[in-house]
């Protein structure tokens, strides 16, 4: 699995303009719906990152790469034997490429309510994050070490859901964080995770 990290600050307005033109109509439509300019730029930058990675690996022009989206919203390049997933958060983008289904997520670590753990943490995940099989009453969570672990689990569950093509579900909630090999990283305020399935569905 290959991980690519980029930031919107790496690109010029001219590059964004060109990258936008290379996007498929469906991708441009999604891009145009973003309210915030930084999200729009992230969308274009992620698309450019995929094209550049495939171009470098397979020797084709970025503009010639056909990127489609499944009905569930998962992007793919039907003409190339590679799977990919990307995520963006506040100008930061992570792209994962692999031979099997992959998922990637990036999120800015920040205080959150412990109540959100209900949506993505099983008991063993809670033990990993909080040291007990239940979230604390303290709201919001502000302990830096607890937040760091919580966002490890969150980005993993997001990446897992993307790799499986399901998004966050009961199945991803009950997939124990510690049972799966994955790539985890912390870069300043950002936590990121990438996961590659052990075999294709």
Partner 1 sequence: MLERIRNIICEFVDIDPEEITLETNIRKDLGLNSLELVNLAVEIEEEFDVEIPDREAMGLETVEDAIRIIEEYME
Binding site for partner 1 (CB under 8 A): 30, 33-36, 39, 89, 107, 112-113, 115-116, 118-120, 154, 158, 167-170, 173
Nearer to partner 1, 68 or 118 (CB): 118
Closer residue to partner 1, CB minimum distance, 58 or 138: 138
Smallest distance, partner 1 to C-beta of residue 35, A:
5
- Taking the complex as a whole, how short is the minimal distance between the CB of residue 161 and partner 1, in angstroms? 8
Using an 8 Å Cβ cutoff, are 120 and 167 in contact?
no
Alpha helices in the chain (DSSP H): 13-22, 25-33, 37-58, 123-130, 144-164, 170-173
Q: Are 122 and 176 in contact (CB under 8 A)?
A: yes
Long-range pairs of 60-66 with CB within 8 A, sequence gap ≥ 24:
62/22, 63/21, 63/22, 65/22, 66/24
Q: How far is the CB of 172 from partner 1 (least distance, A)?
A: 10
**Minimum CB distance to partner 1 smaller for 18 or for 39:** 39
CB of 111 to partner 1, least distance (A): 11
What is the token pair recorded at 134? 């239940």
Closer residue to partner 1 (CB): 33 or 68: 33
């Amino acid at each position: 699995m290959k991980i690519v990290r980029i930031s919107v600050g790496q690109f010029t307005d001219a590059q964004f303009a060109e990258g936008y033109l290379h996007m498929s109509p469906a991708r441009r439509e999604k891009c145009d719906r973003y309210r915030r300019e930084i999200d729009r730029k992230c969308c274009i930058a992620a698309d450019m990152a995929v094209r550049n990675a495939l171009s470098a690996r397979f020797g084709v022009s970025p503009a010639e790469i056909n990127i489609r989206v499944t009905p569930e919203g998962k992007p793919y390049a039907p003409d190339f034997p590679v799977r990919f997933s990307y995520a963006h958060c506040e100008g930061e983008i992570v792209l994962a490429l692999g031979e099997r289904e992959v998922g990637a997520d990036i999120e800015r670590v920040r205080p959150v309510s412990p109540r959100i753990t209900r949506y993505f943490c099983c008991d063993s995940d809670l033990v990993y994050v909080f040291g007990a099989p239940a979230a604390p009453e303290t709201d919001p969570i502000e302990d830096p070490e607890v937040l760091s672990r919580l966002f490890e689990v969150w980005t993993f569950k997001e990446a897992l859901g993307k790799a499986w093509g399901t998004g966050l579900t009961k199945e991803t909630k009950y997939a124990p964080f510690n049972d799966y090999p994955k790539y985890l990283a912390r870069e300043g305020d950002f936590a990121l995770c990438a996961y590659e399935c052990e075999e294709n569905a």
